C-alpha cells in the first residue's frame, strides 16, 4: 500500500523539492485555483512540515491529530510511536505556519520506548482538553498492530488500557495486518468510537461500520466500497461525526479523499452520512496520504498527511472550515 501510494504521488515530489528546508513549516498550495467557495467545506490554508529532527526523532509519518485548547497546542501522533507537540499559527484567518514545541516517545510500563512491533499508532483523542483547566489532559491512542486502546500523558507516559469494542479485539477478524484499527474519536453518549481501515471479515459488504465502546454499531455506504479505506474520525460540536475516506486503486485511477458528516443514532443500524467534500488529485487538489483529522475550533478542523517516511511524499497540514448549518445531513 505504501509503495503504491508513493508511486502515485510521484508528481508531488517536484512541487515540494524546492521548499525551504531551513524552516520547520512552509506555505503549501493544497486547493486548485478553481476550487468552489460555495460548498460547506472551505480550505483555510495549508503548510508543509519539514522532517527536521527534534528530540532525536524526525517529524514523519503523522497519522492522527488532537487539539488541546487548554494548553494551546496540537498533538500529532506518529505511527513510529511518538507524540509531536505543535502550535499552528494563523495570519489573516488562514493557517500560515507551525511551531514545533516538543517530541516525546510513547513509553511502556518500564519507561522504555515501545518496540517496533507494538508502536504502530494510528488514532488519537485528547480528553479533558477543553475544560478550562491546564495540566489534566490525557491522550488515548489506538494502535493498529496488536489492536488496543491505551491512555498516555502528553509526554508519552502510559496510564493504562481502555476498553476496545469486543469485535475489534481479535486481530484475526481483520482483512490484514495493515487493515486494522485506524480512526478514533470520543462521543459524549457512546464512549470511544473506532473504525478499522477496511471492514472486518464478517462485516456487511459494501458498508463502513463504526464501533462504539458501549456496543452500538453504525453503518453507512462509502464513495467507493471496493477500495474505500477509512483513515480518520472526529466529533463535531453537536455530536455528529466526521469520517475521512481514502480511495486508492492504482496509478491509473485518481487518488480521492472524501469527508462525510455522519449522524449517529441512539441504537445500531444504518445512519445518514452526507458527503461534504471530495479532494481528487485529478481535479487539481494536491493530495497526499491524509490520515489525521482534528477539530481546532467550533467550525475549524486540521487535517494531516502521513508521508510514510518517503522522499516522494510530504507531511501536509491543512486547515478546513466546515459550516455546521450548511453541512447538516
**pLDDT of 301-325, one tens digit each?**
999 999 988 888 999 999 999 998 8
Cβ-proximal residues to 249 (8 Å cutoff; 6+ apart), any chain: 227
pLDDT tens profile 226-269: 999 999 999 999 999 999 999 988 777 899 999 999 999 999 99
Q: Domain of 308: which CATH number? A: 2.115.10
- pLDDT at residue 285, rounded to an integer: 95
Cell numbers found for residue 136: 489534566
Q: Rounded to whole angstroms, how far apart are CA atoms 15 and 120?
A: 29
Whole-number Cα distances in Å, 18 to 21, 23, 127, 232, 318: 8, 12, 39, 30, 19
pLDDT tens profile 18-67: 444 468 999 999 999 877 666 899 999 999 998 765 555 678 999 999 99
- pLDDT at residue 13, rounded to an integer: 44
Mean pLDDT score of the chain: 90
Residue 170 CA neighbour count, 13 Å, CB half: 7
- pLDDT at residue 35, rounded to an integer: 76
Number of domains in the chain: 1
Query: What is the percentage of the chain residues whose pLDDT exceeds 90?
Result: 75
Cβ atoms of 83 and 8 closer than 8 Å = no
- pLDDT at residue 36, rounded to an integer: 66
- Strand-by-strand arrangement of the 82-91 sheet: 62-68, 73-78, 82-91, 94-105
Q: Rounded to whole angstroms, how far apart are CA atoms 149 and 104?
A: 18
8 has a pLDDT exceeding 70: no
Domain range spanning residue 145? 2-327
145 has a pLDDT exceeding 90: no
Cβ atoms of 32 and 283 closer than 8 Å = yes
Placement of cell 490484514 in the chain: 176
pTM for the structure as a whole = 0.92
Cell numbers found for residue 190: 457512546
pLDDT tens profile 256-266: 999 999 999 99
pLDDT tens profile 80-113: 999 999 999 999 999 999 999 999 999 999 999 9
Tell me which of 52 and 127 has the higher pLDDT: 127
- pLDDT at residue 241, rounded to an integer: 98
Amino acid at each position: 500500500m505504501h509503495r503504491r501510494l508513493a508511486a502515485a504521488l510521484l508528481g508531488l515530489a517536484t512541487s515540494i523539492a524546492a521548499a525551504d528546508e531551513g524552516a520547520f513549516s512552509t506555505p503549501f498550495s493544497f486547493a486548485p485555483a478553481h476550487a468552489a467557495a460555495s460548498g460547506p467545506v472551505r480550505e483555510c490554508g495549508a503548510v508543509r512540515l519539514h522532517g527536521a529532527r527534534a528530540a532525536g526523532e524526525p517529524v514523519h509519518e503523522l497519522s492522527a491529530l488532537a487539539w488541546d485548547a487548554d494548553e494551546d497546542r496540537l498533538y500529532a501522533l506518529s505511527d513510529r510511536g511518538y507524540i509531536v507537540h505543535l502550535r499552528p499559527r494563523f495570519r489573516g484567518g488562514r493557517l500560515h505556519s507551525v511551531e514545533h514545541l516538543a517530541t516525546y516517545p510513547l513509553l511502556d510500563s518500564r519507561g522504555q520506548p515501545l518496540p517496533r512491533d507494538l508502536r504502530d499508532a494510528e488514532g488519537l483523542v485528547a480528553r479533558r482538553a477543553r475544560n478550562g483547566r491546564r495540566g489534566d489532559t490525557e491522550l488515548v491512542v489506538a494502535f493498529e498492530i496488536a489492536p488496543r486502546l491505551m491512555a498516555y500523558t502528553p509526554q508519552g507516559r502510559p496510564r493504562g488500557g481502555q476498553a476496545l469494542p469486543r469485535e475489534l479485539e481479535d486481530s484475526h477478524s481483520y482483512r490484514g495486518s495493515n487493515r486494522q484499527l485506524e480512526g478514533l474519536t470520543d462521543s459524549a453518549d457512546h464512549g470511544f468510537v473506532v473504525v478499522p481501515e477496511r471492514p472486518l471479515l464478517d462485516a456487511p459488504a459494501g458498508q463502513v461500520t463504526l464501533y462504539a465502546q458501549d456496543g452500538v454499531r453504525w453503518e453507512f455506504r462509502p464513495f467507493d466500497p471496493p477500495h474505500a479505506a477509512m483513515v480518520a474520525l472526529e466529533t463535531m460540536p453537536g455530536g455528529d461525526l466526521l469520517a475521512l475516506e481514502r480511495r486508492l486503486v492504482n496509478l491509473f485511477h485518481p487518488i480521492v479523499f472524501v469527508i462525510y458528516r455522519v449522524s449517529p443514532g441512539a441504537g445500531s443500524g444504518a445512519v445518514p452520512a452526507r458527503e461534504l467534500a471530495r479532494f481528487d488529485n485529478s481535479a487539481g487538489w494536491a493530495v497526499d496520504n491524509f490520515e489525521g483529522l482534528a477539530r481546532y475550533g467550533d467550525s475549524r478542523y486540521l487535517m494531516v498527511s502521513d508521508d510514510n517516511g518517503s522522499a516522494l511524499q510530504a507531511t501536509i497540514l491543512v486547515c478546513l472550515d466546515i459550516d455546521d448549518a450548511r453541512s447538516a445531513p
